[in-house]
Amino acid sequence: MFKKMFGKKEETANKEIVLAPATGELVSLEEVPDPTFSEKMMGDGIAIKPTDGTFVAPVSGEVVNLFPTKHAVGILSEAGVEYLLHIGLETVTLEGEGFEAHVKQGDKVQAGDKLITVDLDFIAEKAASTITPLVITNETASIDKEESKSVTMGETTVITVQTK
């Protein structure tokens, strides 16, 4: 009762749930065979070994960056957290081949909206890996990452972010 009277915020008000951007196997970022991600140079997060070529928005927000090669997309969530979804490793060298974007920069998206579809077999053959990192590129208070498990795009929680 006193919390309501004195305007103290509930802790849940500052939490953001991040859903799996792809269906597959959740792995720790440290397992990504690229030091840019495994050493968290881009930020902390998770990675998924996808079993399907559809990638969806992990949170609701705005597409703030869609790389011309369509291999990566940046989303600014409604809570002000910046996410980078990087589909596969060394996929920039494919110059967009095998990728189809369903959004453009400036689009508003809801968690679970389709972002990009890829030819996963083509990526597996031509790129270093299909493993897909999802990282938070700006400062947050803290994040709680789920352990390795099978995940379903747009349904399974992979990260809980405690925002500032």
Mind listing the pLDDT tens digit for each residue in 82-113? 999 999 999 999 999 999 999 999 999 999 99
Out of 52-56, 72-76, 145-149, which region has the weakest mean confidence (pLDDT)?
145-149
Q: Quickly tell me which residue has 């803290």 as its tokens.
A: 142
pLDDT of residue 139: 83
Nearest in space to 109 (alpha carbons), one of 161, 55, 151: 55
Catalytic position from the list 16, 86, 94, 98? 86
- Name the average pLDDT for the chain: 92
Say if 96 falls within a structural domain.
yes
Q: Using a pLDDT cut of 90, give the percent of the chain over it.
A: 87
DSSP 8-state class, residue 10: P
Instruction: Give the span between the Cα atoms of 94 and 81, in whole angstroms.
Output: 29
Angle at 122 (CA atoms; ends 117, 90), nearest 5 degrees? 85
In a domain, 9, yes or no: no
CB-based contact 74:65 (threshold 8 Å): yes
Q: What is the pTM of this model?
A: 0.90
At 112 the pLDDT is 98
* Known active-site residue 71: no
CATH number of the domain at 109, please.
2.70.70.10
- Count of structural domains within the chain: 1
Residue 136 in domain: yes
